[in-house]
Amino acid sequence: MNQLKRLYDNNVAWAEKIKKNKPNFFSDLSKQQSPEYLWIGCSDSRVVSEQLVGLQPGELFVHRNIANVVVPTDLNCLSVIQFAVEVLKVKHIIVCGHYGCGGVKASMQSIEHGLIDNWLCHIKSVHQKNEDELLAIDDETKRLDRLCELNVIEQVNNISHTTIVQRAWRNHKELSIHGCIYTLETGILKDLNVRFSEINDTNDIYQLRKDKKEIYKPNLTIMETDYEGR
């Protein structure tokens, strides 16, 4: 017996239900996708990206990983951002965290969990950066929830620093990065009111205002002479 029978059956029922309302839905969608939003969320099975914002297939480009972390060495995530911004031309990048995140919780513990601890180091850095605020919160659950929020804010910042986003802004593309957080107990999404929409929203040190080719002009004459002289 196919161990995934329930899933295949569900799939047929789902496709039929959609086709009943919109007979051309899948054939139209197969021709192209033009989502307006890139969603970067936690892999947690309870945080169902499209469903919780009421969007249909084709409306949300999605990347999920443990604790919705974005770091500039993660080629997987950066490739998603580049494709979304430069090819799909999404106008909004949404980082969505959630309260009670297991990844964030694990990052607060002094327990070795294995390989994942290397990933969680990124969240430990957020903790360290905000130590005064976090350690002033006595209630452990509230402290975890605040770190979940701060982690989202950090990732919104990180995205705004990427060459991809900096280039888009330099070229006057309409692109905003937003942070929000989901409550598992209520199903409600909260806007964290962190929003970057232009290069001036980022700290000066991260602003990449010029292309290298605009300022880097190697002296070819000297280089050629040097080469011939050898």
In the complex, the smallest distance separating the C-beta of residue 210 from Co ion, rounded to whole angstroms, is: 38
In the complex, the smallest distance separating the C-beta of residue 14 from Co ion, rounded to whole angstroms, is: 25
Nearer to Co ion, 42 or 95 (CB): 42
Q: Where in the chain does DSSP place strands (E)?
A: 37-42, 60-65, 92-98, 176-183, 188-196
Under a CB-based contact definition with an 8 Å cutoff, are residues 41 and 47 in contact? yes
In the complex, the smallest distance separating the C-beta of residue 176 from Co ion, rounded to whole angstroms, is: 24
**Rounded CA gap, 166 and 175, in Å?**
10
Under a CB-based contact definition with an 8 Å cutoff, are residues 130 and 150 in contact? yes
Specify the DSSP class assigned to residue 66: T
In the complex, the smallest distance separating the C-beta of residue 68 from Co ion, rounded to whole angstroms, is: 7
Among 63, 77, 96, 101, the active-site one is 101
Examine the residue annotation and report whether 46 is marked as an active-site residue of this protein. yes
Going by their DSSP bridges, the two strands 92-98 and 188-196 should be labelled as unpaired
Examine the residue annotation and report whether 98 is marked as an active-site residue of this protein. yes
Amino acid identity of residue 192, one-letter, is L
In the complex, the smallest distance separating the C-beta of residue 92 from Co ion, rounded to whole angstroms, is: 21
Among 63, 98, 122, 127, the active-site one is 98
CA 159 distance to own-chain centroid: 7
Among 46, 121, 209, 211, the active-site one is 46
Nearer to Co ion, 10 or 109 (CB): 109
Answer positive or negative: Cα dihedral of 14, 15, 17, 21.
positive
**Rounded CA gap, 16 and 8, in Å?**
12
Nearer to Co ion, 35 or 103 (CB): 103
The residues of the shown chain that bind Co ion, judged by CB under 5 A, are: 42, 44, 101, 103
> What strand order describes the sheet that includes 92-98?
60-65, 37-42, 92-98, 176-183, 188-196
Q: Which of 98, 182, 201 is nearest to 147 (CA)?
A: 98
Nearer to Co ion, 94 or 101 (CB): 101
**Rounded CA gap, 10 and 176, in Å?**
36
Nearer to Co ion, 44 or 149 (CB): 44
Catalytic center residues: 42, 44, 46, 98, 101
